[in-house]
Amino acid sequence: MLQRIVKPLAIAVLLLLSQLTYATEGMWLPQLLSGLNEKEMKGMGMKINASDIYNINKGSLKDAIVSFGGFCTAEVISSQGLILTNHHCGYESIQKHSSLQNNFLQNGFWAKTASEELSNPGLFVTFIVRIDDVTKAALQDVKPGMSERDRQSAIDKRLNEIRQNARKESWQETMVKPFYEGNQYFLFVTETFNDVRLVGTPPSSIGKFGSDTDNWVWPRHTGDFSMFRIYAGKDGRPAPYSQDNVPLSPKYFLPISLKGVKQNDFTMVLGFPGRTNEYLPSEAVKLTVEALDPAKVGMRDAALEVIDGYMRKDEQIKIQYAAKYASTANAWKKWKGEMLGVKQTRGIEKRERYEATYRELLDANAEQKVKYSGVLDSLNEMYRRIRPYAQTRDYYSELVKNVELFTAGDRLISFLGEVRDKGEGQYEALRQQFLESMQSFYKNYNAQVDHDVAVKLLDIYAKGVPKQYAGTEYAQICGESNNDSRALADKIYNGSGLTSLEKLKAFVQQPYNAVVAQMWKDPGTRLIMAMRKGFVDNVSKPVSDLQNSINNLQRTYMQAQMDVMATKKRFYPDANSTLRVTYGKADGYSPRDAIHYDFYTYLDGVMEKYIPGDYEFDVPAKLIELHKNKDYGRYGVNGRMPVCFIASNHTTGGNSGSPALDAYGHLIGLNFDRTWEGTMSDINYDPSICRNIMVDIRYVLFIVDKYAGCTRLIDEMKLVK
Ligand code: ARG
Ligand code: ASP
């Protein structure tokens, strides 16, 4: 009897639960939360109001979040402008301050006093003051049937006006960005600070622990954080770097909680996600995981294998190639995870089912049918058509990126083009500039490594790119070497003027016209010119025409989805490097049969991975000591030191350094990555396996306090118990 009642009840509860966990997709606009999300967020456990997150009348959470250099996120964590971001976001700044004597990457760095904090020319942080919907004004001149180009220029004219007329203070800036594929426009009033100083960073053996092997992977044990400070003029406003500048007194800063999270606790991430494509039709998802990802991954598989082989044998090459290797490997690994994730969750079938529902609903609505009929089919058709061109484009750009001699050649071509455009009178000055910019390139260049990469990649390119797209000049050159990539590479690396800075200098020492003529004679630049010509003649034009149609259709399809599927789905705009809020729950996941991942890692796990002397898994002596003595201070929990945790917040590149907040809006962690099976979330978010990875704030504080002894920083923070 009881059983019969319990069962339906249990099913209802399960259904409810699954609905709750299903709501974690989305990167929401902070100013629209009260209408769209607040209720759900509270249902999931949030204890604050939407108006505590975004408020233009008083300090709110959004006033503690900055775009860090335009590529990452950071958050203010003290009344004196102290900000927290990832180690990998601060990496370049840390590297620039490092030398063999003072190697901050290797040893870490902690400013003992404010006067030791280090300035970083070029680095900036941007606050969001206000966000306004300006769609109506932006689109007022748009007429049906306009060409993409006319449409864009009609909009651009209005955007200029909107920006100029925007209410703002003299030191503030404005920008307008398209949302929902250009169906809506929002104005941002911003405040940018250019005096941002390095305050502290752990050594790479903590901040980058696990390096490329652990990148995109859970379980993770990385203390991926660094600290900076924002300085302002004496009036508190943005000012260029000056010794007289003072720490910023922010409108709001994040209180820090030492409580951590329990399973299923509400979590929220605020930040600046870069780019997602969540509303593609099925053909575009297929294009990505069947054609583009494999082409790019194949190229990088080969390049990385060659470079890794040399790096393991040769210390000098390791230093020269470490940063390049890491950046090449980062995207490579992400694409591999993306292909796997889409396959495992049957992402394409899921998208096709979604389209079937869309078609059914569209068919049932006479008015919408008139408006949107055929849009989805045309869009899918366009993606089928663009496939071989788009794949060629990716082969080509991967070749130019990964064969450094081609990168150099490309830069040489750009320099000559600039001379052509600006006049030969500028030749001398531009040549100086060009050669200077190439100095750092050759500092980290090894022609032998590059030759071996070229052998492999030229081969893949020859096999992957259809003849009619590669062009006749390219075919001619390959023919001269019997279509043998090794022979071709030998010829190039023996004869080209691009293999060293000295040779390049000699190459461009001649008068402008002679250099131009030489471009078709030097075996290196000749091949680049030929491939480039093939690309421009046979690929660029069709790609850009098709892309124009796609943009147009994609915009219409976006609006169509929002109208037709309104009762089935809530729509958030794709990421576009603007401030967003995403929320979810602390939770593990099960990527495969019989495999389940917990959602927390501990310092014990660091010690499990420890490989003495290894460049990825070494552990500093002091940390080993602290672990041995369980000397965790107030940051440990039951004799253990939490390190990282995961949750179902929907994040992407650019969200690195974003704060993870608890139900009260208190800082509990720092976002820095996603799990391997979930990197597909950029095109196919799936709540069952997509997780973001955060370093626990207690680990951050433990490192600052117990490991580095930099208590002055802890003292300026607001810790809540
Ligand atoms: N995968 C993360 C992101 O996309 C972290 C990258 C930095 N870490 C590394 N080992 N390369 O940015
Ligand atoms: N690691 C990424 C970043 O640097 C975050 C991600 O892709 O999840 O922004």
CA distances from 709 to 107, 208, 697, 704 (A): 14, 20, 16, 6
Mutate to test the pocket of ligand 2, among 338, 673, 676 (most ligand atoms within 8 A of CB): 673
CA 561 – ligand 1 centroid, Å: 33
CB of 216 shorter than 6 A to ligand 1 = yes
Task: Flag whether pLDDT at 228 surpasses 90.
Answer: yes
Residue 319 belongs to some domain of the structure: yes
Q: What is the pLDDT of residue 1?
A: 34
pLDDT the model gives residue 96: 87
User: 20 pLDDT band (50/70/90 cuts)?
Assistant: very low
Q: Which atom of ligand 2 sits closest to the CA of residue 88?
A: 4
Does the CB atom of residue 282 touch ligand 1 within 6 A?
Answer: no
682 lines ligand 1 (CB under 6 A): no
Same domain, 165 and 210: no
Q: Is 98 in the pocket of ligand 1 (CB under 6 A)?
A: no
Query: What is the pLDDT averaged over residues 194-222?
Result: 97
Task: Indicate whether 314 and 442 sit together in one domain.
Answer: yes
Ligand 1 atom 3: the closest Cα is on which residue?
673
Say yes or no: 317 and 266 in one domain. no
CA angle 544, 324, 704 (to 5 degrees): 120
- Residue 654 CA to ligand 2 center (angstroms) comes to 6
Q: State if residue 119 touches ligand 1 by the CB under 6 angstroms criterion.
A: no
The CATH number of whichever domain residue 64 belongs to comes to 2.40.10.120
**Which of 168, 193, 218 is the last residue in one of the domains?**
193
Which tokens sit at 338?
A: 């993306």
**Which residue's alpha carbon is nearest to atom 4 within ligand 2?**
656
Q: Is the pLDDT of residue 318 over 90?
A: no
Q: Is residue 3 part of a domain?
A: no
Mean pLDDT over all residues of the chain?
Answer: 95
Asked whether residue 63 carries a pLDDT value surpassing 60, the answer given is: yes
Over 60: is that where the pLDDT of 13 sits? no
pLDDT of residue 322: 84
pLDDT at 156: 97
Same-domain check for residues 187 and 198? no
| Cα 319 to ligand 2 centroid, rounded to whole Å | 24
The pLDDT value given to residue 691 = 98
Cβ-contact 676, 216 below 8 angstroms = yes
176 with 257, same domain: the answer is no
Q: Which of 566, 549, 556, 575 is nearest to 655 (CA)?
A: 575
12 falls in which pLDDT band (50, 70, 90)?
very low
For residue range 287-302, list pLDDT tens digits in order: 999 999 999 999 999 9
Distance CA 542, CA 526 (A): 24
The band of 194, judged by pLDDT with boundaries at 50, 70 and 90, is very high
* Cβ proximity of 593 and 344 under 8 Å: no
pLDDT single digits (tens) 403-451: 999 999 999 999 999 999 999 999 999 999 999 999 989 999 999 999 9
Q: Decide if pLDDT at 11 tops 80.
A: no
Query: Which entry of 224, 452, 587, 662 is annotated as an active-site residue?
Result: 224
161, 93: one domain: no
d(C-alpha 357, C-alpha 344), whole Å? 22
Domain boundary among 535, 563, 591: 563
User: 651 CB less than 6 Å from ligand 2?
Assistant: yes
- Domain identity same for 341 and 490: yes
- Asked if residue 588 and residue 712 are part of one domain, the reply reads yes
Instruction: Determine which of 11-25, 108-122, 575-589, 669-683 has the lowest per-residue pLDDT on average.
Output: 11-25
The dihedral through the CA atoms of 135, 140, 145, 146 has a sign that is negative
Q: Whose CA is nearest to atom 7 of ligand 2?
A: 653
Spacing, Cα 358 to ligand 1 middle (Å): 37
**What CA–CA distance (Å, rounded) separates 376 from 489?**
45
Give per-residue pLDDT as tens, 109-151: 999 999 999 999 999 999 999 999 999 999 999 998 898 899 9
Residue 572 in any domain: the answer is no
pLDDT at 2: 38
Ligand nearest to the CA of 220: 1
Residue 85 Cβ < 6 Å to ligand 2: no
The CA 88 to ligand 1 mean position distance, Å, reads 7
Which ligand lies nearest to the CA atom of residue 216 in the structure?
1
CA 224–ligand 1 middle distance (angstroms) = 10
Q: Where does a domain end: 563, 590, 618?
A: 563
Q: Looking at the structure, do residues 472 and 549 belong to the same domain, yes or no?
A: yes
Share of the chain above pLDDT 70, in %: 97
Q: Annotated catalytic residue: which of 60, 63, 67, 88?
A: 88
- Find out whether the beta carbon of 201 lies less than 6 Å from any atom of ligand 2: no
CB under 8 Å, gap of 24 or more: what pairs does 633-638 form?
Answer: 633/702, 633/705, 633/706, 634/258, 635/258, 635/698, 635/699, 635/701, 635/702, 635/705, 635/706, 636/698, 636/702, 637/260, 637/698
> Active-site residue 293, yes or no?
no
**Phi-psi map region of 561: left, alpha, beta (phi>0 left; psi -120 to 50 alpha):** alpha
Instruction: Give residue for tokens 């990649």.
Output: 457
Centroid of ligand 2 to alpha carbon of 338 (angstroms): 14
Same domain, 118 and 135: no
- Name the residue of 656, 671, 677, 682 whose CB sits within 8 Å of the most ligand 1 atoms, as the mutation to test its pocket: 656
Residue 596 a catalytic site member: no
Contact 507, 498 (CB under 8 A): yes
Give the nearest ligand 2 atom to 273 CA.
9
In this prediction, residues 269-277 reach a mean pLDDT of 98
pLDDT, tens digit, 9 for 90 and up, residues 67-113: 999 999 999 999 999 999 999 999 999 988 988 788 999 999 999 99
Distance 143 CA to ligand 1 centre (A): 44
Q: What is the pLDDT of residue 23?
A: 67
Q: Is 175 exposed, middle or buried (0-12, 13-18, 19+ CB in 10 A)?
A: middle
Per-residue confidence at 16, pLDDT binned at 50, 70, 90? very low
Whether residue 656 has its Cβ less than 6 Å from ligand 2: yes
Report yes or no: 74 and 68 within 8 Å, Cβ to Cβ. Answer: yes
Is 24 inside a domain boundary?
no
Q: Is residue 9 over pLDDT 80?
A: no
Chain centroid to CA 255: 27
Q: Give the count of domains, the chain.
A: 3
Beta carbon of 654 within 6 Å of any ligand 2 atom: yes
Ligand 2 touching residue 87 (CB < 6 A): no
CA dist., res. 90 & res. 82, Å (int): 14
Pocket lining: 674 vs ligand 2, CB cutoff 6 Å: yes
21 lines ligand 1 (CB under 6 A): no
pLDDT in tens, 323-343: 899 899 999 999 999 999 999
In a domain, 76, yes or no: yes
Looking at residue 8, its pLDDT comes to 47
- Joined together, the tokens standing for residue 214 give 């652990």
User: For the residues 644-668, what does the mean pLDDT come to?
Assistant: 98
- The backbone torsions φ and ψ at residue 225, rounded to the nearest 5 degrees and listed phi first, read -145, 155
Residue 254 has pLDDT above 80, yes or no: yes
Question: What is the C-alpha to C-alpha distance for residues 342 and 226, in angstroms, rounded to an integer?
Answer: 33
pLDDT at position 3 is 40
For residue 113, the 8-state DSSP code is S
Query: Is the distance from the beta carbon of residue 655 to the nearest atom of ligand 2 less than 6 Å?
Result: yes
88 is annotated as an active-site residue: yes
**pLDDT tens digits, 590-641:** 999 999 999 999 999 999 999 999 989 999 999 999 999 999 999 999 999 9
State whether 352 and 475 are in the same domain. Answer: yes
For every residue of 250-314, DSSP letters joined together read -S----EESS---TT-EEEEEE------TT--HHHHHIIIIIIHHHHHHHHHHHHHHHHHHHHH-
Residue 19 within any structural domain of the chain? no
Considering the domain architecture, whether residues 304 and 264 belong to the same structural domain is answered as no
Q: How far is the CA of 469 from the centre of ligand 2 (A)?
A: 34
Give domain status of residue 114, yes or no.
yes
10 falls within a domain:
no
Atom of ligand 2 nearest to the CA of 656: 9
Domain that holds residue 189: 127-193
Instruction: Check pLDDT > 90 for residue 679.
Output: yes
- The CA 334 to ligand 2 mean position distance, Å, reads 10
Rounded CA separation 58/536 (Å): 53
Cis geometry, peptide bond prior to residue 219 (ω within 30 degrees of 0): yes
